[in-house]
Structure 1
Amino acid sequence: MTEIVAGGSGEFMTVRHARVSGSQAEIGRALAEEARAHHGWQPLPADPTISRARRAWFERHWPQHHARMAGAAEVAGVAPDDDRVHLDALAGVPLGSGCSATWSASGVMGRNYDFFTVGWEAMFALMSGGEAPEDEPPAASRPYVVTSVPDDGPAVTFVTMNELDCAMDGINEHGLAVVLLIADAENAGAPVPAGPQVGLSPSQLPRFLLDTCENVEQAKAALLGAKQYDLGVPLHYLIADPSGRAFVWEHAHGGVEHIIEPDGDALCVTNHLLHQPADPSRDGEETMFTHDRLARLDKRAKAGPLSPSLLRDALDEVRFTSGVYPLRTLWRTAFDLAERSMSTHFYLGDAADGEPRYSPELTFRAVR
C-alpha cells in the first residue's frame, strides 16, 4: 500500500509512504513496481563479470537483498541470474549532501538531511561552473518512507531520497537506528562514474545493517566483515541502539575503516572526518560550515541528556535556510529508540520571507 503523506501538487516535495510485507522476493517485486511507476525504473546495463560477482556477494552476505533482486527481476521481465543487468538501485544515486546528526544516551537520536533543491544536471553545473538546464525537476523532490515487514526478518522503516531499495536513515524493530552523512565536505567533488560495484554502496549500507543486525555490537561486526565502496564520495554513519550504545562508522579515503566511540553520553557528527584532527579554519560556504555545526551540536548535547524536544531544538539550530548554494534541510528525523519510532517533517518550499516551510511531523514505527 502506498499513499502520499506530505506535500503534493504545488509543493517542493511529494512524499509517499510505502508499506510492504511478505517474502523478501514479494517485497522486492512491490518496490520495483513502485519504482517503475513513479521513477521509470528499468534495470541498468551491467558488466557480466561484475554483475555475477555482485549477486554472489549478496547471496552470501545479504540474502535479504539477493531475494529482493529476484522479485525485481519479475517486474523487469528478466531472469534473476541475467548477468547483463543490475536488478537493484531502484532509481538514481545520491551524490552527497550536508547533514547533521546527534545521539544522546537518553535514548534519542536525530538528523537533518541537507541537500540541494535543484536537479542532477544543475548540481554538476554548480560543481563545474557550467550552465544549468531549465525546467529540470529537483533531485530530492520525491522521497519515500518505506516500511517493510518481511516474513523472515525484522520490520524496518526508513526514509530514502530517490532509491526505494536504499536508506538515508532508518530504524528496525530491535531499535537499531542508522543515518548516513557525507564524510568529507572539505574535499568533496563529483562522484566517479563507475556504476555499481561488488559489496555495499553508500546508500545500501544502512539498509544492510537494519536488515541483518539487532544492536551496535552486531553492526560493528557486520561492517568490519563487509565489502564497501564509495565511488569517490565517502560517507560516514551514526549508528545507535536502545541499550545506550552508539558509534560513528567512517569508511575513509583509501578504504581505511574507523570506529569512533562516544566521549561520554553524547555523539555528534556533521560533514568532516572525525578520526582526523579538526581544522575549523577551513570552515565556510564550501564546507557547509561543518565545524561550526558540530560545535553547536556538541555544546547542546553535552550540556545534559537530550529530551525529545531538546533534540529537535538542537537540530533546528543548525538547519540550512539560505546561502550561496541552493541548499536546504529537506527533512528532520527524530528517533525514539525505545519506541522503535522515527518522526520526520519534510521541506515544502520557502515562505514569502525566505524561511523554509515544513510539513507536520509524521511518526513511523518499525513494528509488525
Structure 2
Amino acid sequence: MPSIMDAFADLRDPRCRTCRYPLPEILFAALSAVLCGVEDWETTTLWARTQLAWLRTHLPYENGIPSPDTFARVFGALSVKAFEQCFINWAGQLCPALEGQHIAIDGKAVRGSRSGTHSALHLVSAWCSDTGLSLGQVSTSEKSNEITAIPELLAALNLEGATVTIDAMGTQHTIAEAIVKAGANYVLAVKDNQPGLAEGVRRWFAAAQDGRLESSYWEHVEHDKGHGRLETRVCRVADDIAWLAGTGQHWAGIERLVMLERTREQGGKTSTESCYYISSKAVKAAEMARLIRAHWGIENQLHWVLDVSWGEDASLIRDKVAAQNMASLRKITLNLARLEQSRQPKKISLKNVRNLAAWDTALRDSVLGLV
C-alpha cells in the first residue's frame, strides 16, 4: 500500500515563513488522531501530546505539538483543491484500474459546518462499491449545486471501463457526455428535472406493459424479506431508444431505458413506487438491477458511516476550508480502516479498527502503511 504521507509530500505549506511546527508534522498528527477517533482540533492536540513518543518515531517534532488554534489555522489555510487532489491521487494508487468497477456519485451536506447566514458545506463524493473505498470529493459553492461539481469530480478520476451511477441531479446532457468521453458507462436516474425525458420513458413502459407496443423488454424479479417487511423489486430494461431522437432527446451513448418497480408489504399495507433510468451500458435486467441497488451503498457504507462512526454531522468546525479538509481526512482514514478490516483474519467493525489503532501502535503503523 502506498504511504499516505508520501501522497502529501508535495503539498505547499500555506504559511509564508519558517514555522515552529512543520506542515508534515501537523498533517501526520491530525491524520493519526482522526484515525484513532478524534473529531476536533482541541482533542487532536491532547491526543498528540499523549502520543508524542510514538509520533517522534516517524517525524522529529522538535518543538512538540501545536495548539488547537494552530491546527485550525493551518487546515483553514490549506488549499482544498490541492489537498483533495492529493487524496484522489492516493486513492488512485489503491485502485489503479477502475475497469469493470461500479462507481457511485452522490452529494452530502456536512451539517455541523452551517453558521449564521452561510449554508452547510456540501460535498459530492465518488465511491467504489466493489472495494468500499472513497475515491475523491469536491465541494459545491454556496451559489451552485451538484450539477457543476460532478463534472469536476469526473474529470479528476480515471474512469476508463467503469460504470458510473448518479441520482437525478446528475441527469444532465453534459454529464452523460463527459462520462462517455471518459470511456465509462452511466446509469442515470430520470425524474422531473428532465420533464420531457421522464414523461417519454414513463409512457413507453406504460404502453409496453399494456401491449400497445411491438417492442419488448427484459425483466428481472427480486424478493427481499426482513423486519416484518416483504419487498419485491421488478427491473425492466428495454433497448428501444430510436424514438427518443424524434422527441428531441439526444443523450450521449444511450443504450437502455430502465424501469424499477418496488412493492412493499408491511403491517397489512402495500405500497408501490416506480423509478426510471437511462443507461449507456448494454446489459439486461439482472445486471441493471444489481447496479441500481449497488448505487445506494454510498448512503449506508459511506455517508452513514461518516455520520455515525466518524461524527461528521456533529463536527462543529465552522470554517468551510478547514471543514472540507477535515472531510478529506475522514474519508482517507475510513479508507485506511476498510483496508485494515479486509486484512484481519476475523471480521471486525470499523469502530474497532479505530479502537485498535488507538490502543496498539504496531497496528497503527500497519494501518498507516508505515511498516
TM-score band w.r.t. shorter chain? under 0.3
Q: Which has the larger radius of gyration?
A: 2
| Larger helix share, 1 or 2 | 2
Q: Say which structure is richer in strand.
A: 1
Q: Could you tell me the TM-score, scaled by structure 1's length? A: 0.27
